[in-house]
Amino acid sequence: MTRIPALSAVILAITALTGCQVLQQPAQTTDSQKTSQTETESSKSEQKTGEAQGNKPSKPPRPDTISVKQQLVQTPARVGGKLVLGFAEEGTLTEYGLVMNAKIDTGAGRSSIDARNIENFERDGKKWVRFDLPRTSKGNVTLELPVKETVLIKRPGGEEPQPRPIVNMNIKVGDITQNLDVSLNDRTTFDYPLLVGRDFLKDMAVADVGKKFIASEKVLDSVSRKIPADGNLSIKEQIDKPVDVSGLQLLGEKEVVHVKGFKNTFKARIDTGARTSSINAKDIEFFTKNGERWVRFKIINGDESIAFERKIQRDIEIKRHGGLEHQERVSVFIPITLGKISRDTEFTLTNRSGYDFPILIGERFLSNTALVDVAQQNIAELKK
């Protein structure tokens, strides 16, 4: 029985005899296979997306606004290049690092300091003084300094003049430092241990008694604000607020005052150290009118003399330096004009015949009304 060769063997034999080559065709993929593969890839893609969503948290949306903090900062004012000082400021004795509250007093020619337990002694043949400063940033401090000079303070009623030692100190207020000859004086009854007078102020500062502690920068307030969350938006952390001195008339150390009824003007000292203005009055008599207290008095200016009757406004105790007894006075209202300012002004009645100025203009009149520049005189009439 003859066996028939396998088909593949026959084909190979024919190929060898004819020299033809047989190319093997790649296997074709059916539509069903393509669909299965596509579905598998899609399934893998969905699986990856699901894993990404399940394993990693999504980013929160960017906020529309963000919160920022800002500071409102007081900045000092200047007038004509001069620093504006308030009724009270911080004064520093720079050589000792001592800070004291200071009153700005345009009526005082020389600055003074609250000194207690004053003892004079000699060192190397020279006069020295030892004293306590009770109200400083470091508590009670004892200093020893050479005596520059000794001045005699007149006392009323023929009493013996009071000797007062003068020492040299560096005093700083705001950004101003002055080397001054300072008077040592017991200021127990006064609110401020340091008094800054015209010797410090002249050519350097002006006074605004309607404000306090305005000579240095300080934070007034801190605020939080909402701003758009824009990366390109910048905001200042500090907002400067300059001390406002607008609308205040500038007065000099000395001025002239018009008193209603008088033809001639009165010379006046502008004194931020005095609480209430005062006027030279004579022949003061008290009486009662309609059940109220009244006073009759006379004001003399050169060859002019006018008698007045006024209802008493109040009784005032006047503090005086150097251990002098306080004075009791009454006050009344009198209409005056000073520069562009015209008003009924409260005056205490006192005999000022021993003073160069029959009128003293004090803090109550000046507050929120005027600035005082002790380097100038008689400028109010020019500033109308």
Q: What is the CATH number of the domain that holds 285?
A: 2.40.70.10
Asked whether residue 253 falls in the same domain as residue 200, the answer is: no
**Residue 220 domain-assigned (yes or no):** no
Asked whether residue 312 falls in the same domain as residue 258, the answer is: yes
The CA distances from residue 13 to 2, 4, 17, 36, in Å, are 18, 14, 6, 41
Report pLDDT for 229: 72
Asked whether residue 146 falls in the same domain as residue 198, the answer is: yes
Last residue of a domain, one of 159, 186, 208: 208
**Residue 271 domain-assigned (yes or no):** yes
Last residue of a domain, one of 186, 208, 230: 208
Q: Nearest CA to 373 among 339, 322, 347?
A: 339
Domain, as residue range, for 152: 78-208
Describe the strand order of the beta sheet including 82-86 as a list of residue ranges.
Answer: 78-79, 82-86, 205-208, 370-373, 249-252
- How would you write the chain as a 3-class SS string? CCCCCCHHHHHHHHHHHHCCCCCCCCCCCCHHHHHHHHHHHHHHHHHHHHHHHHHCCCCCCCCCEEEEEEEEEEECCEECCEEEEECEEEEEECCCCEEEEEEECCCCCCCEEECEEEEEEEECCEEEEEEEEEEECCEEEEEEEECCEEEEECCHHHCCCEEEEEEEEEEEECCEEEEEEEEEECCCCCCCCEEECHHHHCCCEEEECCCCCCCCCEEEEEEEEEEECCCCCCCCCEEEEECCCCCCEEEECEEEEEECCCCCCEEEEECCCCCCEEEECEEEEEEEECCEEEEEEEEEECCEEEEEEEECCEEEEECCCCCCCCEEEEEEEEEEEECCEEEEEEEEEECCCCCCCCEEECHHHHCCCEEEECCCCCCCCCCC
Structure tokens at 199: 């010797």
Asked whether residue 199 falls in the same domain as residue 265, the answer is: no
**Residue 31 domain-assigned (yes or no):** no
Report pLDDT for 21: 44
**Residue 179 domain-assigned (yes or no):** yes
Last residue of a domain, one of 159, 182, 208: 208
Report pLDDT for 18: 43
Say how many domains are in the chain.
Answer: 2
Report pLDDT for 35: 47
Report pLDDT for 128: 98
Asked whether residue 189 falls in the same domain as residue 258, the answer is: no
Asked whether residue 83 falls in the same domain as residue 193, the answer is: yes
**Residue 12 domain-assigned (yes or no):** no
Structure tokens at 147: 């005596």
**Residue 103 domain-assigned (yes or no):** yes
Asked whether residue 203 falls in the same domain as residue 82, the answer is: yes
pTM tops 0.85: no
Report pLDDT for 57: 62
Residues of the chain with pLDDT under 70: 1-62, 155-159, 230-234, 320-326, 383-384
Structure tokens at 249: 């008339």
**Residue 292 domain-assigned (yes or no):** yes
Report pLDDT for 383: 55
Asked whether residue 98 falls in the same domain as residue 201, the answer is: yes
Q: Which one-letter amino acid corresponds to residue 249?
A: Q
Asked whether residue 202 falls in the same domain as residue 85, the answer is: yes
**Residue 126 domain-assigned (yes or no):** yes
Q: Nearest CA to 216 among 84, 81, 70?
A: 84
Report pLDDT for 222: 87
